[in-house]
Chains A and B, each alone.
Chain A
Amino acid sequence: MEKTLKEKMITCLLVGLFILVAFVALFPVISLVVASLSPASDLMRYGLSGELFFSSFDFQNFQAIFGTEGSSYWQWYLNSIIISAVLIVLSLFFSSLVGYALAVYEFKGKRFVFILVLLILMIPFEILMLPLFRMMTAFSLVDSYFAVMLPLIVAPIAVFFFRQYSVGLPKELMEAARIDGCTEYGIFFRIMAPLMLPSFAAMAILQGLTSWNNFLWPLLVLRSNDMFTLPIGLATLLTPYGNNYQILFAGSVLSIIPIIILFLFFQRFFIAGLTSGGVKG
């Protein structure tokens, strides 16, 4: 009897601790939503006062986005959606091919290619960004969707992940398919890719998240207001010269929505995927 009482107390303590942790994790997001529904001028002057109820509830900030003042905001949104959608499709396609090949085939140079993947993972992109930027300038690609997407199209982290996942694919199916006259490409697209769906879901979130929140590279290659992605556009409102705080707050809230939808859609696979990618060496 005494033991169960002790156990109950431990449960209470643990749950209590995690309610606190969850509160710390969620508080900033909740207060952003509250802030977006309060007058923007007060916020810039006083900061967040931490009130989780609405003193003066209004939709002015959201109305500002729909009004003419914030006309670029939807363009930023559209840019982010186009870039992220294209990147998810392209990077999943290319990275899965590479990762799959590294896992299921024996070929000359396989080990070398895998070492290159790991090498790129270890070397920060920031060291390559100036030459890449110069390259983009030389080809007049600055201020285009293509320039933003290019460095993310074959993502080494996704290649690594798909490789780890593909190692567990049933290779007997490949032999059976070959005997039936299926080509190597047919084997991938018709048999293996469907088996790899959970890993595609996991990487769709990871690549979507990376692209949606990507900042430094787009900051370099995007020049005109109408080409900005959401983070770059919102960052311009954060500067001392940015004077439209209404769009900053309401726009920040709306900017999280697509990624939350993507996350909720694939969540189940994501947590499993995130972990299996990092754990096995």
Chain B
Amino acid sequence: MGTTISTEKGKPLGTPNSPRKRSSFLYSKKAAPYIFVSPFILSFLFLFLYPFISAINMSFQRVLPGQVEYIGLRNYERVLNPTFYTALQNTTVYVILTVILLTVLPLIFALFLNNRLMKMTNFFRAAIFIPALTSVIVAGTIFRMIFGDSDMAIANQFLSFFGFSPIEWRYGAASGMFLMVVLASWRWMGVNILYFLAGLQNVNHDLYEAADIDGANVWQKFKHVTFPAIKPIVIFLTTITTINGFRMFEESFVFWETSSPGNIGLTVVGYIYQEGIQRNDMGFGAAVGIVLLLVIFVVSVIQLYLTGAFKKGDS
């Protein structure tokens, strides 16, 4: 009896779980950051961690409506087939080409735009950025018309003008790859130029004067003054372009939907879509996804190692 009375008496005086105390804890400086980051934690658990574990789990299963069965490594054995190799090869070629085009050209253009003799820079910046606003479907529609099969289409007229015969762009392996790379380069060139322009603002101009006094030529100035200043952006852009390249699906979809002649436009993500969604073989699709993740991981580590991001004192 006595104990009951004392708890009833004690409660209003502010035991740790009284309502008032709890709400003031929610308002405290200690709790606030956790409440602020809680949406991210929740989304991490439900939209990342759970699907991630589930993807690994699914890759060992045969997933059929209403029944799921563990089949060990059989999905992975099936992944290593000629169609997957075609997809991986297409994707790899696409990654290499886009990384080169979307790093080297934007850097050159940014250096030119940043030249003190350049005029109307604001207009050119805005103009080269416009393509990034278009959706891949809209851009793809236009590119399909420009690179149409008929002799009348502008790309073929251009070829005829220089004495070449017209091409059926969407039916050849090389020209098909060309279409995807051109579409991606057209859309993202301006964005990457802007990144480089921002990086060029960080260059210390006193160093140029010092280099001039030492009699450095244009190339030496670039190598020893400009490049070190923009190196973080080079690393950033090559990493982003590589990952985006391995994720590529839409550039292929706008030209061929999901079936290109001889799989010339098949990408790894396209293969996941085909198998996992269209053929409803989710376990196999998940296995392809895990293999893709391993490929990206290996490539990223090599890339970061080559660019020296692992060296100490670089940050």
Interface residues, chain A, with chain B CB atoms under 8 Å away: 7, 10-11, 14-15, 17-18, 21-22, 24-26, 28-29, 31-32, 35, 43, 45-50, 94, 97-98, 100-102, 105, 107, 110, 113, 116-117, 120, 122-135, 150-151, 153-154, 159, 178, 183-185, 188, 209, 212-213, 215-216, 220, 230-231, 234-235, 238-239, 248-249, 252, 255-256, 259-260, 263, 267, 271, 274-276, 278-279, 281
Contacts and interface: CB of A to CB of B under 8 A. Distances in A.
A184 B198 contact: no
Nearest to A90: B39
B154 A50 contact: yes
A126 B145 contact: no
Given A10-B117, A255-B138, A98 B198 contact: no
B133 A259 contact: yes
Contact of B150 (A21, A46, A132, A274): A46
Contacts of B217: none
Contacts of B186: 24-25, 28
B233 interface: yes
B55 to A, nearest CB: 5
Interface string B146-163: 111110111011000000
Interface stretch (B95-103, B172-180, B188-196): B188-196
A107 B34 contact: yes
Nearest to A253: B138
Nearest to B236: A278
Interface residues of B, number: 100
A87 B30 CA distance: 30
Given A22-B127, A126-B247, 8 more contacts: A25-B189, A107-B33, A123-B52, A125-B247, A128-B52, A130-B276, A130-B286, A260-B133
A278 B238 CA distance: 12
B131 A29 contact: yes
Contacts of A11: 117-119
A132 B58 CA distance: 12
B48 A22 contact: no
Contact of B143 (A10, A28, A278): A28
Contacts of A185: 27, 32
A276 to B, nearest CB: 7
B124 interface: yes
A47 B149 contact: yes
B286 to A, nearest CB: 5
14 contacts: A18-B109, A35-B142, A35-B145, A98-B37, A113-B40, A128-B51, A130-B276, A131-B50, A184-B28, A184-B29, A213-B136, A238-B140, A274-B191, A275-B197
A127 B135 contact: no
B120 interface: yes
A235 B251 CA distance: 12
Contacts of B131: 25, 28-29
A97 B36 contact: yes
B152 A47 contact: yes
A47 to B, nearest CB: 2
